[in-house]
Every structure is written in structure tokens, then in C-alpha cells.
A and B are shown apart, each in its own frame.
Chain A
Amino acid sequence: MAAAAAPWNHVWVGTDTGILKGVNLQRKQAANFTASGQPRREEAVSALCWGADGETQILVGCADGTVKHFSTEEGRFQGQRQCPGGEGTFRGLAQVDGTLITCVDSGILRVWPDQDKEASSDPLLELRVGPGVCRMRQDPARPHIVATGGKENALKVWDLQGSEEPLFRAKNVRNDWLDLRVPIWDQDIQFLPESQKLVTCTGYHQVRVYDPASPQRRPVLEATYGEYPLTAMTLTPEGNSVIVGNTHGQLAEIDLRQGRLLGCLKGLAGSVRGLQCHPSKPLLASCGLDRILRIHRIRNPRGLEHKVYLKSQLNCLLLSGRDNWEDEPQEPQEPSKVPSEDTETDELWASLEAAAKRKLPDWEQTQGTLQARQRKKKRPGSTSS
């Protein structure tokens, strides 16, 4: 049943124990999917991205250097490929025209050919980006452009079809007021839509906007938030602001036109590892080390919509961008398939609750609290009850 319901999952989350979890917020269910049937820490998911056509396939980058293909239609892993080379975990995964782009921590960026068409498993292209990469991101508008950045590794924009030199290499800001070099630690990168600009968030709690079109290689805008390293970032649907998360679980929305703080989101208790906004709805999915997936509503009103406890530390997530979240036509037609599907996937976790419409469990104790709340304090001497 879990596998059959896989196409309707709204959020896909990768964990530290190698399990890919599909969460359906409408039916309030989370399902576990593993390639080998058992969770394994060596397969810890470090990067997730959508596959070739639409949102039917997910590419899962694991800590042992393999990229697995997962089909959301069928709800199972279809194949995997080894992507060796370089040390460290995957920091970025993308695909363009069937080829796969991977970037590892030590700075080796490789483009792998389509596995079905070519038998050889040599990379088509290899670039050395520099050590200490924290993120590689693909431009959604121009799929052959990627940007990389990391610790003491300045932001670079590469064209995979062009030369070996980066298209844009960012310059560090001027020395600070003590005349000391400002250190660089780009933790997350996003491309702004409808322009060539990029936004990065750093481990030194800065949010910077770069514009390759301008002659200035230094950041065009810089804003700071908080005192802790910013670990994840996502663009809001309107494209004027970003939401960043730091290692203390604080989420903030920062306006990119003025560089000021618009508001914060509450609830997370651990470091934010993954953030994604829905492309049209005002929803934000966030996951982190506190093992809980949260869906927040970003505007009117700002608050928590859903909260799902997912037992393992969450590393990255993918939010489905489809508009019809309530569409479930096939649900009543799968009773016969239930027993056979169950043996394929792991156990089905079926007790999630939406924070907005909280269902109280059937315990006597909670009924007691309800009664306590309803009983008003009797005022002395009052004749009316």
C-alpha cells in the first residue's frame, strides 16, 4: 500500500540511516523506502534531486558514492550507479538531458553519461572546483550552468558546455574594520529567477547577493542574521526574499531588495538541514537534526501547518511542486495488493498529526484535562452560575 501510494507523497526526505521517507500530508502517513530492505548507515542520504521527466524519479546520493534511482510511480528503487572519485559525501546532485552531475566534498565535479545508453562508466567531464565544497546547485533556468561554493572556496559559476574556467568567480569582500581578512564559508547557493543573480548564505551568518552581469565581482548586497552558521536556504514563491535556517533551528525570511529581516518562523529545535518552498503555494518544508519534518505557512498567517516525527536525523528533502495536493483517485482500488506490497517496503507509520487540527489520542488523562479546562472558577458569592 505504501508503494502504491508513493506517487501521492508530498515530501520526500533523506535520512542519516539511508532510508528515503515519503510523507503524505493529506493522509498523514509516512513510508520508509530502502534499497536493500534494511537501513544502513553507509548509505546515508546526502543529496536528493528530481530525475529526468517531471517528478516521477528521484536521484538519491548516498554516502558510499552511489547514486540510486527511485521511482515514485512504483515506489521502489530501480537501480544504482557508482560515482567514484574524490573523497567526501555528495554536496550536489543534478541532472541535465539524461546525464548526471555530481560534486563531492573534495571538489571533484563530474558529469556522468546516461547509464542506459552508454555502457562505459567514465565521466564525460571532470572539473576541479577546489577543496571544501559545501554546495553545488544547478540553475533551473539554464540546466548546464552550475554554481559551487564552500569553506574557503569562493562562489564560482561553471558552464558545463563551455570552457574549463568558471564563468564567474566571486571576489571576497574588503577587509573588515580591523583590517582582517573576512573568512569565506558558502553553505548554500540559490539562483534567482529571471536574472543572472545568485544568493548565498554563509557559515558566518551572512546572506549575500552576487550579480555576474555587473562588473563588480564582490557581493551586491549583504545582510546578516543571527549569530550562528546558516545552513540552508530557499527562495520564496515571489522571488523577492529568501528563507534561511541556522544551526540553532531559527528560520528567518530576509528581503533581498532591501536586505532586511521580514520575519521569523518558530518551532525547530535542531540544526536546519533542508529547506524548500513550494513554487506556488505559500508553504515551506523544513527538516533537521531534531528528526521532525515541519511544514510552515509563510504568509497570512505565518505559522506551523504540519509536524511529522520521523525517527531518524533528516538530511535533505524534496518538496513536490504539484498544485493538486488533494488528488487521490486510486485509493480505494488497491485492497488486494496490500499484503504483497507490504513485504516489499518497510513498516507503514500511520500516526501523524497536523499541528493545526490536532487529534487527541483516546486516553482518559487527556479527557480529564479537557474537563479541567472547561470547569470555570466559581466566584465567591455569585448568584449566577
Chain B
Amino acid sequence: MAKAGDKSGGSGKKGLKRKAATEEAQEAAVGEDGTTESGVQPPKTAAFPPGFSISEIKNKQRRHLMFTRWKQQQRKEKLAAKKKLKKEREALGDKAPPKPVPKTIDNQRVYDETIVDPNDEEVAYDEATDEFASYFNRQTSPKILITTSDRPHGRTVRLCEQLCTVIPNSHVYYRRGLALKKIIPQCISRDFTDLIVINEDRKIPNGLILSHLPSGPTAHFKMSSVRLRKEIKRRGKDPTEHIPEIILNNFTTRLGHSIGRMFASLFPHNPQFIGRQVATFHNQRDYIFFRFHRYIFKSEKKVGIQELGPRFTLKLRSLQKGTFDSKYGEYEWVHKPREMDTSRRKFHL
């Protein structure tokens, strides 16, 4: 017994499995079984007592061996099942049942009661008379002020400049250590409609505060994956002065609608389709991806796109009613990780 044990210990794990298998079959036949064991029993079948699992084997090498054998067997069975299913599908041809749709976190999303129904009158009235109504009624056109936190470093400054080219009618100003609450009344008096503050930490931009000006909501985002123009591979030339189109994807809930409208009100309402530029805000699983492309239709259905402009990802942290006042302002929605992030299939935007 000890000799056999040494042998299996000495041999490598992978190459000599068959040898080990026969050895252990013999061992099993001799050692592991119950009382009434006659030598007539074929050496290959190892009858384990019921309720036995591989994890109960104390010897680590042996346990590992048994596990790898089980795994290989599972893989073989799975492959065989797949082949069989494929054959059956081919045999049935057109009458085959449709392929089952794989489950993803997006299609397993927990039902959210706040998802906006397009026919809902109350929500439609609410949106028609909220703070963005004057933009959507074409009464005001956007004028944006872009600034940063105090003493920004190179990346943040360049991001601001690039954002300035992407968003029409926007102006970059150096922060100079001024308090936002003092900047805001001055902006309002100079007819600015939105204020963007890019927060920076350790020389990279990591936050975005978007405040709609006359009295509008303030959204605070976490910004990540910022790529400046020169870091984008296979990009096109710099964007032109044409007003881009906007795409807002997947803002379904009431909160998502508010944020979507906030983004929409940054850009003038009349896109110039001559400059074939488009800014996309794509929401997936509560992360908002911003991309800026130039497109060209090669035929009716084929389109080529070139990515220009900066790209970044945003995640909403809070939406505050009123202009920026983080201490005394009233919040419409605050992200609370320990209460809201308990389910992997629940999203809020």
C-alpha cells in the first residue's frame, strides 16, 4: 500500500493518470469499500458509500486527482450533449424550436415601477413644466460654462478644452479658487444656462458636476475612463464647428428621464446634419458612456463611424433640486451603496 502510494506521489500529475487510475482502482477494490467485499468484483468499479463527496478525501493530491477526473468527465458529457442537441436541430430543420435566449444581467433586470410609460399624462405634464421646459420649448438656447476644481493639472485642462470643442457655445474659465456659490449668481446674470465643473484628484479628472442654471437641478457624477483625443486609436480629425446630433440611449426610468433631459439641454436644439457629428450618451447598468463620433452613410444600411473627441464614463451619485448647494440643498435622489446596490439586477437610471 505504501509503495503504491509513493509511486502515485512520485509520478507527475498530468501524464500518468491512467497508471494512477488503475492503481487506485486496485486500491479502491482493496481498501475503501464496506465489509462484504469479495475479490470477484471487477477492479474498476469503486463503490463509494452513499452521500460521499470528493471534498471529504483528506489527501490533497488524491482529492485533486479525483476532482480533475470528475471535471473531465463533466466536460465530455457536456460536449456530447451539445453535439446531440445540434444533431437534433439539424434533423428537425425548420421545425426546430427557437434557440433559447441566454440570460444576461440586462435582460434579468428587476422590474422597476418608475419606468416611464410614453402615454403617461401625469409624467408628461411633469416634464413639460419642469426646469428644462424653457429649453425644450425653444425659448432659451444653451450657454455653458466649463470649469474645474482649483489648480487643475494638464489632463483636466486638456479635457476641458476638448469638451469646449464638443459642446457648442461653451466657454472654459479658470477656477481661481472661487466658491461655486459665488460663481453661480454671476453666471445667471450673464445668461449662462449650464455650469460644468470637472473635479480632479491626483492629476486625473474624476468627477463632474452639472448644474442647470436659473434654478435647475444639479447632478453630481463620478467620472472614470477618461480618454483624451490623442489616446484614442484610429480616430478622425478634430471636430468642426457644426452643431452635433445627440443620441440618448436607455434612459428609461423617471430619474433616467431627468438626467437624459439634462444632457439634452446642453446642446442646441437644431443639429446641423451637414457636419455629420453625433454625441452619444449611452446608459447601461447605471453607467453613462459618452462618445463623440463622425458618421458617413456609405449606402442605405451601411454606415462608417470615426471616433473623434474625448470619451468618458459617468455614474450618477446624486441629483439635487436647485443649484449647487451640497450642504443645505434638497436632494431628489442620492446614491446609497449599502441600500441600493444589494441586487446585481436592479438599476436606477
Contacts and interface: CB of A to CB of B under 8 A. Distances in A.
Nearest to B330: A271
B238 interface: no
Given A311-B120, A353-B113, A379-B53, A289 B336 contact: no
B48 A383 contact: yes
Interface core residue of B50, B66, B321, B333 (most chain A CB under 10 Å): B333
A369 B345 contact: yes
B347 interface: no
B333 A380 contact: no
A346 B114 CA distance: 19
Given A17-B122, A311-B126, A365-B108, A271 B66 contact: no
A351 B113 contact: yes
A368 B103 contact: yes
Contacts of A229: 328
B111 A383 contact: no
Interface stretch (A127-135, A165-173, A262-270): A262-270
Nearest to A291: B254
B327 interface: yes
Contact of B331 (A248, A309, A366): A248
A255 B102 CA distance: 52
B111 A366 contact: yes
A361 B123 contact: no
A38 B125 CA distance: 9
Contact of A271 (B51, B107, B120, B332): B332
B133 to A, nearest CB: 10
B94 interface: no
Contact of A381 (B66, B321, B336): B66
A41 interface: yes
B67 interface: yes
Contacts of B158: none
Interface string A358-373: 0011010110110010
Given A309-B114, A311-B123, A365 B107 contact: yes
A384 interface: yes
A311 B333 CA distance: 14
Given A228-B327, A270-B334, A381-B52, A41 B122 contact: no
Interface in A21-68: 32, 38-39, 41
Interface core residue of A32, A311, A346, A384 (most chain B CB under 10 Å): A311
A290 interface: yes
B296 interface: no
A254 interface: no
B340 interface: yes
Interface in B57-91: 66-67, 70-71, 74
Nearest to B130: A41
Interface in B99-147: 103, 107-109, 111, 113-114, 120-123, 125-126, 129
B70 A17 contact: no
Contacts, number: 107
Interface core residue of B54, B70, B114, B332 (most chain A CB under 10 Å): B332
Nearest to A271: B330
Nearest to B50: A383
B339 interface: yes
A132 to B, nearest CB: 14
Size band of the interface chain A makes with B: 35 or more
Interface in A331-383: 346-347, 351, 353, 360-361, 363, 365-366, 368-369, 372, 379-383
A169 B129 CA distance: 41
Interface string B308-349: 000000000000010000011111111010011000010000
B67 A380 contact: yes
B333 A41 contact: no
Nearest to A19: B122
Nearest to B56: A381
B55 interface: yes
A29 to B, nearest CB: 14
A372 B123 contact: no
B331 A249 contact: yes
Nearest to A307: B113
A231 B328 CA distance: 10
Interface in A231-259: 231, 247-249
Given A271-B331, A383-B48, A291 B114 contact: yes
A271 B334 CA distance: 9
B111 A290 contact: no
Nearest to A42: B129
A203 interface: yes
Given A309-B113, A311-B126, A248 B52 contact: no
A224 interface: no
A312 interface: yes
B132 to A, nearest CB: 14
Contacts of A347: 121
A326 B125 CA distance: 34
A147 to B, nearest CB: 23
Contacts of B113: 309, 351, 353
B125 A290 contact: no
A361 B254 CA distance: 20
Contacts of A384: 50-51
A247 B339 contact: no
Contacts of B330: 231, 247, 270-271, 289
Contact of B52 (A227, A290, A313, A383): A383
B129 A380 contact: no
Given A379-B53, A383-B51, A269 B126 contact: no
A312 B126 contact: yes
Contact of B333 (A17, A227, A270, A379): A270
7 contacts: A17-B129, A247-B329, A291-B114, A346-B121, A368-B108, A382-B53, A383-B51
